[in-house]
Amino acid sequence: MFHTIGRITGWTKEYNKRLYLGYICSFLSSWCTAAPIMLAAWLLEKMIEDSKGEAILGRAYVGYSIAGMVLAIFLRFLFTYWKNKLQESIGYEVAAKQRIQIGDTLKRVSLGYFSEKKTGDILAAVTTELSTLELQGMKMIDAVVNGYLQVAAIICFVAFVSFPAAAVCMAGVILSAFALHGIGKQSAETAPVIHKANEDLSGASIEYIRGLAVVKSFGQEGASINYFKKAAKDSKNICIKNEYGFVPWNCLHLFSLKSASVALVTIAAWEALQGIMGGPMFLMICFFSFTIFGGAESINDAAHILSVIDEVLDKLEDMEKAPFLDKDGKEINLNSYDIVFDKVSFGYGDREILHDITFRIPEKTTTAVIGPSGSGKSTICSLVARFYDVDAGAVKVGGHDVREFTCDSLLQNISMVFQNVYLFRDTITNNIRFGKEDASMEEIVEAAKKARCHDFILALPDGYDTVIGEGGASLSGGEKQRVSIARAILKDAPVIILDEATASIDPENEAQIQTAIGELTRNKTIIIIAHRLATIEEADQILVLEEGRITQQGRHEELVGSEGLYRKFISIREKAEGWRIV
Ligand SMILES: Nc1ncnc2c1ncn2[C@@H]1O[C@H](COP(=O)(O)OP(=O)(O)OP(=O)(O)O)[C@@H](O)[C@H]1O
C-alpha cells in the first residue's frame, strides 16, 4: 500500500509540494477536531472542582475556553478547505498531462505496436485506467495518509491523559494493518485478472460498435452481441468473485479497530474507577472512542484500490516505454525529394511481404504501383512514410535514409490520401486545417475550391462550420475523399502518396476527384497505387508488383508490348472500363 503511494507521488512529482502542504493542513485539522472536546473536558473538570470548592473557576477561563473551542472549529474548516484546495485537482492535472504524453508516444511508435497491443488495451489505458488514477489516486492517498494522521493526532491527545489507553489504540491500529496487508496482497493477485476482463470488455465493445453496419447487413445481430455479452458477463463474475474474497479481510480490519475502541473505553473506565482519571477526562475518552478510528476505517477500500492503481501504473509505464521509431532522429530539411528503395525486405512479424526490392522515383515524377491484391502495394507506401521500419535495405527520401529523420520532420514532406478517409469529429474547417495548423480561412477556402468541395460545403447547414460525425460519418465517400484532398492541398507537401479509389464512385464524383487530384499532384513526387487506366498510362514509371517482388518496371508503352502481368492487368482494366487496346 505504501509502496503504491510512493509510486503515485513519483508520478505527481511536480505537485508534491502541494501534496505535502495538504498533509500538514490535514494533521492540523485533526488536532482542531480533537481540541474542542479536550477543552470541554478541561472546562468540565474545572467546573466540578469549582463546585466542590477545590478551585475557583474565573469567568475569564470560561470565556477563553469557549473562544478556544470556536477558534478550533473555525481553524478546522479553514485547514480542511486549504487541504482540499491544495490536493483535490492534482489527480486531474496529472492524468490530463499523461493522456497527452500517451498521445505523443503513440504518434511516434511503429504501427506494428497497434497490432500487438489491441485497440481495446490502449483505449482502456487512456480512459478507464487513467480515470482510476485521476479520480481515485489522490483520494486514496488522502484516505490513507490523512486517515492515519487523524488517528495519530487523537492518540497524542489520549496519551496526555492515559498512556495505557493510547497504547491499546496503537495495538488496534497495528492489528488492522495486518488485515490491510492481506487486502493489498489479495488485490495484487486479482487486479491483473480484473484488468484483463476490462480490456476484453473494451475490445468487445469497440468491435461490436465498429462492426454494427456489417452485422446488420448480414442479419447476424445474435452472433455479434454474444461476444459482447460474454465479455460483460465475465467482467461482472470476476468482479463479484473478487469482492467476496475481500470480505474476511474487511471484517478483520473493522473488528480490530472496533475492539480497540471498546478496549479504550474499558481502560479509561477502569482508570476512572481507580481514581487515576477524572470523570471529565473519562467522558472525553468516551467521545474520542467514537471518532478516533473514523479516518482509519475507510483505509480498507484504499488498500484495495491502491493495489488496482499499482497495476494501472504498471500498464501506463509499460505504454510509456513503447519504443520510439525516431528516438535517434534529427530534424532534416530536404533540398530534393526523390524516393529510393534500396534492396528493401520487410515483413509483418515473421512473414516476409517485400523481398529485396529496389527502385527509384525521380523528383517531380509519377510512379504508378500496380499488382494483385496482397502483393504489397500499400506496404511500400507505409514504408515511405516510415509507419514501419524495414528489415533489410533502406528507404531514402531526398538522399536521406528515412531512419535519420524524426517522424514529424519526415512526414512534413509527405501527404497521404487513402481510399478509406478518416475525418475527425470537428468542423469542416478544422478538418481541412489539419493539413496546416496556421492556415487562414482564405487559404482553407482556396484549398477546398481546388479540391472541388467548396460547393457541397456551402450547401451544408453551417457551411464550413458544420461539425461532421466521427470518421466523417455524415459525408458521402466521394465528399470525404475530396475533403481529405483539400487537407493535402493545404499541406502542400512535395511528396504525395495516393491510393486511387477502387470503390464504385459515380462518374460525376470520380471526375471531381480526378480534378482535385490533378490540383494536388502538380509538380510533386508522386507514388500512386493505381487502378484507372488513364492514371497508369500517364505515369512516368510503372512498377508491377507480384508477391512482394517487382517483376516489371517501365512506362506503359514499354510494358504493354511485352508478355507478363502488366498486359493481363491492362486487358482486365480495359474490359472493366469498357475500353480496348489500340
Ligand atoms: N498490419 C499488418 N499486419 C500483418 N499483415 C499485414 C498487415 N498489413 C498487410 N498485411 C499483409 O501483407 C500483405 C500485403 O498487404 P498490402 O496491404 O501491402 O497489399 P496490397 O497489394 O496493398 O493489397 P490490396 O490491393 O488488397 O490493398 C497481405 O498479405 C496482407 O495480409
Work out the average pLDDT over 105-126: 69
Work out the average pLDDT over 381-409: 90
**For the chain, what are the domain ranges?**
2-320, 339-375+419-577
So what's the ipTM on this one? Answer: 0.97
| Segment (H or E) for 122 | helix 119-124
- Structure letter (DSSP) for residue 553: E
Q: State the burial class of residue 151 (Cβ atoms within 10 Å of its Cβ: 0-12, 13-18, 19+).
A: buried
Chain CA centroid to CA 389, Å: 25
Backbone angles phi, psi at 334, to 5 degrees: -90, 150
For the cut 70, the answer to whether the pLDDT of residue 223 exceeds it is: no
Instruction: For residue 546, give the 3-state DSSP assignment.
Output: strand
- Indicate the top mutation candidate among 375, 419, 531, 551 to test ligand 1's pocket, ranked by most ligand atoms within 8 A of CB: 375
Instruction: For residue 166, give the 3-state DSSP assignment.
Output: helix
Work out the average pLDDT over 514-539: 81
Question: What rounded mean pLDDT belongs to the chain?
Answer: 82
458/575: higher pLDDT: 458
| Closest listed residue to residue 45, CA positions, set 29, 30, 27, 65 | 65
Task: Count the neighbouring beta carbons within 10 Å of the beta carbon of residue 49.
Answer: 15
Dmax (CA) of the chain: 129
Work out the average pLDDT over 388-412: 90
Residue nearest to atom 13 of ligand 1 (CA): 374
* pLDDT tens digit sequence for 275-306: 888 888 888 888 878 777 877 777 777 777 78
| Closest listed residue to residue 150, CA positions, set 288, 9, 246 | 288
Instruction: For residue 218, give the 3-state DSSP assignment.
Output: coil
Residue 371 CA, closest ligand 1 atom number: 21
Rg of the chain over all Cα atoms, to the nearest angstrom = 35
Name 416's bridge partners: 497
The reply to whether ligand 1 has any atom less than 6 angstroms from the CB of 65 is: no
Name 367's bridge partners: 527, 541
The reply to whether ligand 1 has any atom less than 6 angstroms from the CB of 531 is: no
Whole-number Å distance between alpha carbons of 481 and 422: 9
**Sign of the alpha-carbon dihedral angle for 234, 239, 242, 244:** negative
| Closest listed residue to residue 556, CA positions, set 372, 367, 380 | 367
Residue nearest to atom 26 of ligand 1 (CA): 373
- What is the per-residue pLDDT for 471? 57
Whole-number Å distance between alpha carbons of 80 and 28: 9
For the cut 80, the answer to whether the pLDDT of residue 171 exceeds it is: yes
- What is the per-residue pLDDT for 581? 43
Q: Which three cell numbers stand for residue 300?
A: 480498507
- What is the per-residue pLDDT for 115? 61
For the cut 90, the answer to whether the pLDDT of residue 360 exceeds it is: yes
The reply to whether ligand 1 has any atom less than 6 angstroms from the CB of 377 is: yes
Topology of domain 339-375+419-577, per CATH?
A: Rossmann fold (3.40.50)
CA of 575 to the centre of ligand 1 (A): 26
Whole-number Å distance between alpha carbons of 13 and 203: 33
Domain at 2-320: CATH code: 1.20.1560.10
User: In degrees, to the nearest 5, what angle opens at C-alpha 221 toward C-alphas 218 and 226?
Assistant: 135
* pLDDT tens digit sequence for 63-107: 888 888 899 899 999 998 998 888 878 888 888 887 787 777 777
* pLDDT tens digit sequence for 412-441: 888 888 777 777 778 889 888 887 888 899
With a pLDDT cut of 90, the percent of the chain lying above it is 12
Burial 16-28 (b: 16+ CB within 10 A, else e): eebbeebbebbbb
CA of 68 to the centre of ligand 1 (A): 78
Whole-number Å distance between alpha carbons of 91 and 496: 43
| Closest listed residue to residue 117, CA positions, set 100, 102, 131 | 102
Name 497's bridge partners: 416, 527
CA of 124 to the centre of ligand 1 (A): 27
* pLDDT tens digit sequence for 256-278: 888 888 888 899 889 888 888 88
Whole-number Å distance between alpha carbons of 20 and 27: 11
Strand order in the sheet with 495-499: 414-417, 495-499, 525-529, 366-370, 541-546, 549-554
Residue 116 banded pLDDT, cuts 50, 70, 90 = low
